[in-house]
Amino acid sequence: MIAAEDIIVRLDRRTVLDGVSLTVRGGELVALVGPNGAGKSTLLRVLAGLARPDRGQVTLDGAPLAALAPRVRARRIAWLEQGARAAWGMTVREIAVLGRLPHSDAAEAPVATALAAVGLDAMAGRRIDRLSGGEARRAMLARVLATVPEAMLLDEPCADLDPAQGFAVLRLLRAEAGKGRAVIVVLHDLALAARYADRMVLLDAGRVAADAPPEAVMDDAVAGRVFGVRIGAGPTVLPA
């Protein structure tokens, strides 16, 4: 279980997160949604231990996250940043193997499983800088899976993916949650969030406007008010 309690983050005299509390248990897939600038990516970085809040704390199974050694934290929490890219011409397999660094091994089984899960096992020897944007994005996701973490935090993992690939990624994350992992994902696609998430946490100007099952959030009085659009019965969700 990963939990944030009364998180406040200030950047350049601006309050980015204002008293945010959130608990995600193993087996849950939680989607962080909200307008641009609502604080979604900042909250994800705080949950990953990559940014320190000005107030409040994050705990992992009840223990303060800040007290964990970086290598231990990296074994237990896997992180995929928004727009993650490789700076060198590494192969797809080499990218996936990076997920094993916190374990100090290059165990073949989790790497092979991760590549198969994202559909890149046949491209393991290809250089990542010669792949399409969507393929490269999936290679980065393989790195996260190869860590075999307790919690997975992903910031816009469906960016650069076509709709079919986006559905596939969310099905994969749904399956990872089914294995007992806590999965927290930032999404702009409300249809994907509504279809696959157990809960949607709606952020608005650094505060939690809603934390509820998708059907309770996808409403004119909730998401519609925050986004300034008419939600009605919710967006059309295509079959996976």
pLDDT greater than 90 at residue 239: no
Copy the structure tokens of residue 102: 């916190």
| CA atoms lying within 13 Å on the CB side of residue 114 | 28
Give 203-226 pLDDT, tens digit per residue.
Answer: 999 999 999 999 999 998 999 999
Of 11 and 159, the one with more pLDDT: 11
pLDDT at 229: 86
pLDDT at 213: 96
Between CA 23 and CA 59 the distance in angstroms is 9
Residue 175 and residue 103 in contact, taking contact as beta carbons nearer than 8 Å:
no
Give me the helix-helix angle, 163-178 and 133-147, nearest 10°. 0
Dihedral sign, Cα of residue 50, residue 56, residue 61, residue 67: positive
Average pLDDT for 82-94: 85
Residue 211 and residue 228 in contact, taking contact as beta carbons nearer than 8 Å:
no
From the options 2.40.33.20, 3.30.360.10, 3.40.50.300, 1.10.10.350, give the CATH code of 2-84+150-227. 3.40.50.300
Average pLDDT for 57-72: 95
Nearest to 60 by CA among 22, 109, 91, 88: 22
Q: What is the strand order of the sheet 14-24 is part of?
A: 14-24, 2-11, 55-60, 63-64
pLDDT at 232: 61
Domain extent listing, the chain: 2-84+150-227
Average pLDDT for 116-142: 93
Average pLDDT for 152-164: 90
pLDDT greater than 50 at residue 231: yes
Beta strands in the chain (DSSP E): 2-11, 14-24, 29-33, 55-60, 63-64, 77-80, 151-155, 182-186, 199-204, 207-212
Quickly list H helices, 98-189: 108-117, 133-147, 163-178
pLDDT greater than 70 at residue 198: yes
